[in-house]
Amino acid sequence: MSLIEKPEAAPMLALTAITDEHRNLWRLTVTLEAVADDIAAGAAVDPAFFAAAFDYIDQFMDGCHHAKEDGHLFPAVRRRTQDADAAIDRLQAEHRNGPAVLAALRPRFAGPHPDGEALAALRTYTQTLRAHIATEEKEVMPIARAALTAEDWAEIDHAFSDHHDPVFGTAAREEFRDLYHRIASLAPDSVGLGTAGVPAADTHDVLLRITGLESSYGRIKALKGIDLEVRRGELVALVGANGAGKTTFLRALSGVQPIGAGRITFDGEDISRLRADLRVRRGICQSPEGRQVFGTLSIEDNLRLGAFTRSPADAEPDLRRVYAMFPVLEEKRRLPAGTLSGGQQQMLAIGRALMGRPKLLLLDEPSMGLAPLLVQEVFNVIRRLKDEGMTILLVEQNAFAALAIADRGYVLETGAVTLTGSGQDLIGNEQVRSAYLGM
């Protein structure tokens, strides 16, 4: 038997990919409307921003994303049931008309000062795109989940995961990722391209749901019935004092700490009894407390270990991305990891987790033991990942820094959640300010 097992196929991979792409498009529509508001208030905007945004919609959404749905998902649903026919008819009509609508919009944004009619047309267009996403996720996807068989999903998922396909493959995905990052770099600083404005998620947007989680060390119960949710694209902070159970919670979530009770649901699947390595294959990747790099191995070997579920060739784009994010790692890539400073080892630990292409990135005490300037640098990286749409669960003793960038937060005390709310609400909470912020 081979020492390297073939990665298991994830069920309903296609729906996960479509939902992730919807999140990117939704954020883009919100950003376009915010830029339109800036222009209406008298600001000038680089036409290259609109050109890049329209290229992304044209090449990726209209040319690739919709092709996946029209060629694979929708026909399979139609074969199994007629319940979604009316909704699919509307969606496919919009797919056909989309390129022409976008082509008519482009010349109106070729200069730095589009007129009021152009801005109104842009808002109508972005609202139509969001309505399209809502129809697909609320009307078609639930029917697909219920009606399609395991054989249907295997066929659909194969098409979506074909790395050599010119439309769906690795090179194409890298090209579209680069284009999205170009849009983010061109967006005015006043609006950015983060998750602001994304609507409150329904149950389909919940990536991780934990209910009644308990775990013990011998007779000592470390986790006492924890309930927690993380939605796609969110940064959720879990804060608490030493000994509160934060690291135990992440170990239980990763599968290296046994649980005594409760349920862990990830991307619609109960993984409560799943082995740790299979959780990594599902997309749960952790940067552990204390970095835990392999000191005698080279920096590049440490990074490649994060992609152990895939072939070396398939990991190359991720390696280039990590090196672009942390240039110092590329400069020293042949050196033993043990020669890095504490801050550089933290960058390596985060980069190693990113090599696994996480759907959920777990960060355990990333600022521990670092000088203040390095703490700021690490949190800048976390903020950048959040702005790129990554889903992050951040466990951190530095409560203020964590809550300041979090969409939502949970306060953990002696193994139980005592408070939850938005990051800003928790920063303003008198109990939190007194116990954790020194105010």
Lowest model confidence (mean pLDDT) among 40-54, 164-178, 278-292, 366-380: 164-178
Residue 371 token pair? 């000088």
> Does the pLDDT of residue 272 top 70, yes or no?
yes
Q: What is the DSSP string of 338-369?
A: GGS-HHHHHHHHHHHHHTT--SEEEEESTTTT
pLDDT at position 317 is 82
> Does the pLDDT of residue 127 top 80, yes or no?
yes
The structure's pTM equals 0.55
Contacts of 129 (CB under 8 A, 6+ apart): 25, 29, 57
pLDDT classification of 6: cutoffs 50, 70, 90: very low
Maximum Cα–Cα distance across the chain: 70
What does residue 365 show for φ and ψ, rounded to 5 degrees? 50, 55
Strand, coil or helix: 183: helix
Report which residue type is found at 43: A
Total Cβ atoms within 10 A of residue 428: 13
In this prediction, residues 328-345 reach a mean pLDDT of 88
In this prediction, residues 379-406 reach a mean pLDDT of 87
* Among 332, 27, 359, CA closest to 35: 27
Identify any residues that bridge with 310 across adjacent strands, giving them in sequence order.
Answer: none
Strand order in the sheet with 220-231: 220-231, 206-217, 261-266, 269-270
Q: What is the DSSP string of 21-36?
A: HHHHHHHHHHHHHHHH
pLDDT classification of 285: cutoffs 50, 70, 90: very high
Residue 209 token pair? 């749901």
pLDDT at position 210 is 95
Report which residue type is found at 46: D
pLDDT classification of 31: cutoffs 50, 70, 90: confident
- All structural domains of the chain, each given as residue ranges with its CATH number in brackets, are 13-186 (1.20.120), 205-435 (3.40.50.300)
| Mean pLDDT of the residues in the chain | 81
pLDDT at position 201 is 41
* pLDDT tens-place string over residues 101-115: 999 999 999 888 899
Q: How many CA atoms lie within 13 A of 226 on its CB side?
A: 33
